[in-house]
Structure 1
Amino acid sequence: MSSSNPKHPIGSAAMQPGTDQGACSPLQAIKPLQGLKVVELHAIGPVPFAGYILAQLGAQVIRVSPPSDPQLGVGVAARFDLLNSNKSAHALDLKSRQGLDALEALLEDADLLLEGFRPGVLERLGLEPKSVLDRHPRLVIGRLSGWGQQGIWADRAGHDINYLAVAGILHAIGPSQTPVVPLNLIGDFGGGTMHLLLGVLCALLQRSQSGKGMVVSTSILAASVGLTPMFYGLIAAGIWHLQREHNLLDGAAPFYRVYRCADDKYVAVGAIEAKFYRELLKLTGLEGKLDAGKQHDRASWPASAEALAQAFAGKTRDQWASLAERVDACVAPVLDFIEASQYAHNLDNALYEQGEQQAFVRPGQVLGFSRL
Structure 2
Amino acid sequence: IGVPGRPPVPPANYLGDFGGGAMLLVVGLLAALHEARSSGRGQVVDAAMCDGAALLSAFMVGWKAQGLWSRPRGENMLDGGAHFYACYDCADGKPIAVGAIEPQFYAELRRRAGLDDPAFDAQLDAGRWPELKDKLAAIFRTRTRAEWCALLEGTDACFAPVLDWDEAPQHPHNAARGNWLEAGGVMQPAPAPRFSRTAARTPEPPTATTLAAALAAWPAR
TM-score range, shorter chain: 0.7 to 0.9
- TM-score normalised by length of structure 2: 0.83
Deviations 1:271-315 (A, max 9, x none): 11111111112222222x134531101222222111111110011
> Quick one: which of 20, 26, 45 aligns to 1:197?
26
Measure how far apart 1:242 and its partner are.
4.8
Is structure 2 residue 125 aligned with structure 1 residue 297? yes
Do the aligned partners of 1:281 and 1:290 also contact (CA within 8 Å) in 2?
no
Letter in 2 for 1:321: C
Match of 2:8 in 1: 179
Do the aligned partners of 2:180 and 2:189 also contact (CA within 8 Å) in 1?
yes
Letter in 2 for 1:220: M
Q: What is the alpha-carbon root mean square deviation over aligned residues?
A: 1.6
Is structure 2 residue 34 aligned with structure 1 residue 208? no
Do the aligned partners of 1:280 and 1:329 also contact (CA within 8 Å) in 2?
yes
Letter in 1 for 2:48: S
Is structure 2 residue 106 aligned with structure 1 residue 277? yes
Measure how far apart 1:234 and its partner are.
1.3
Do the aligned partners of 2:119 and 2:132 also contact (CA within 8 Å) in 1?
no
Do the aligned partners of 2:120 and 2:132 also contact (CA within 8 Å) in 1?
no
Query: What CA distance in whole angstroms lies between the structure 2 residues aligned with 1:320 and 1:230?
Result: 31
Deviations 1:296-347 (A, max 9, x none): 0122222211111111001111211121125311110000011101111101
Query: Residues 242-261 of structure 1: matches in 2 within 5 Å?
Result: 242-261=71-90
Query: What CA distance in whole angstroms lies between the structure 2 residues aligned with 1:344 and 1:324?
Result: 15
- Determine helix, strand or coil for the equivalent of 2:196: coil
Query: What CA distance in whole angstroms lies between the structure 1 residues aligned with 2:66 and 2:38?
Result: 41
Letter in 2 for 1:215: V
- Determine helix, strand or coil for the equivalent of 1:214: coil
Deviations 1:110-146 (A, max 9, x none): xxxxxxxxxxxxxxxxxxxxxxxxxxxxxxxxxxxxx
Query: What CA distance in whole angstroms lies between the structure 1 residues aligned with 2:65 and 2:115?
Result: 35
Q: Judging changes above 3 Å, is the alpha-carbon distance between structure 1 residues 369 and 326 closer, same or farther for their aligned structure 2 residues?
A: closer
Match of 2:190 in 1: 364
Larger Rg belongs to: 1
Query: What CA distance in whole angstroms lies between the structure 2 residues aligned with 1:280 and 1:273?
Result: 11
Is structure 2 residue 49 aligned with structure 1 residue 223? no
Is structure 2 residue 156 aligned with structure 1 residue 328? yes
Query: What CA distance in whole angstroms lies between the structure 1 residues aligned with 2:145 and 2:47?
Result: 42
> Quick one: which of 172, 175, 178 aligns to 1:350?
178
Query: What CA distance in whole angstroms lies between the structure 1 residues aligned with 2:144 and 2:157?
Result: 17
Deviations 1:162-220 (A, max 9, x none): xxxxxxxxxxx111122111111111101111110011111111222233222101211
Deviations 1:3-60 (A, max 9, x none): xxxxxxxxxxxxxxxxxxxxxxxxxxxxxxxxxxxxxxxxxxxxxxxxxxxxxxxxxx
Instruction: Structure 1 unaligned segments of length 5 or more: list them.
Output: 1-172
- Determine helix, strand or coil for the equivalent of 2:105: helix
- Determine helix, strand or coil for the equivalent of 1:361: strand
- Determine helix, strand or coil for the equivalent of 2:133: helix
Query: What CA distance in whole angstroms lies between the structure 1 residues aligned with 2:71 and 2:134?
Result: 24
Query: What CA distance in whole angstroms lies between the structure 1 residues aligned with 2:130 and 2:75?
Result: 11
Query: Residues 1-372 of structure 1: matches in 2 within 5 Å?
Result: 173-177=1-5, 178-287=7-116, 289-325=117-153, 327-354=155-182, 358-370=184-196
Do the aligned partners of 1:290 and 1:304 also contact (CA within 8 Å) in 2?
no
Query: What CA distance in whole angstroms lies between the structure 1 residues aligned with 2:118 and 2:164?
Result: 31
Kindly tell me the number of residue pairs found equivalent between the two proteins.
196
Do the aligned partners of 1:278 and 1:292 also contact (CA within 8 Å) in 2?
no
Percent identity of paired positions between Structure 1 and Structure 2: 42
Higher helix share: 2
- TM-score normalised by length of structure 1: 0.51
- Determine helix, strand or coil for the equivalent of 1:310: helix
Query: What CA distance in whole angstroms lies between the structure 2 residues aligned with 1:211 and 1:307?
Result: 62
Letter in 2 for 1:348: A
Query: What CA distance in whole angstroms lies between the structure 1 residues aligned with 2:71 and 2:91?
Result: 33
Instruction: Structure 2 unaligned segments of length 5 or more: list them.
Output: 198-221
Letter in 2 for 1:205: H
- Determine helix, strand or coil for the equivalent of 2:194: coil
Q: Judging changes above 3 Å, is the alpha-carbon distance between structure 1 residues 224 and 316 closer, same or farther for their aligned structure 2 residues?
A: same
